[in-house]
Amino acid sequence: DSNTIQDGQNIEGSFTTSLTGLGVGSTYYVRAYAINSEGIGYGEQISFSTSAGTPTVETISGSTVDTNTIAVNGEVSDNGGADLSSYGFVYSITDPTPTVSNSVVEVGKNIQGLFSSEIDGLQASTSYYVRAYATNEAGTSYGDVISVDTAEGNYLNIIS
């Protein structure tokens, strides 16, 4: 796949061109060219790589499993052009925008697509702020925050 950018006409000496619309985490090969009445002349081919971007991740849904467990679903739709070092879910009772500095359930590494997990060991009858996350060499991205409740605990009433 090759593309051509015409920079001008009747130029002598050096010239500069900006390349736009390049993909993240990609390698490109470039060389200059000039056309005159004798034909086409090409410069030396060089290569360069673009940096990776942060991943694109979405929090899909969450549901109550029992008094101490919730189930959550997420999706990585784009890894940002680099392998994921980690992905999963972050959650908190008090922080409405949890990050990897809060509680983390790491699901795995290097995925593109849907993923899910159960988060257990939680408090009964409690609302948790939860969102999916994904991390690559460029940084960490988060999905939207959702609120998921654990079930009410079973209480035994003793009548004397």
Looking up tokens 């925050």 gives 145
Give the Cβ contact number of residue 68 at 10 Å.
Answer: 15
Q: pTM score, two decimals?
A: 0.73
What is the distance between the alpha carbons of residues 30 and 130, in angstroms, rounded to a whole number? 45
List pLDDT tens digits, range 139-156.
999 999 999 999 997 655
List pLDDT tens digits, range 13-56.
788 888 888 877 788 899 988 888 889 989 899 998 888 899 99
What is the distance between the alpha carbons of residues 120 and 29, in angstroms, rounded to a whole number? 50
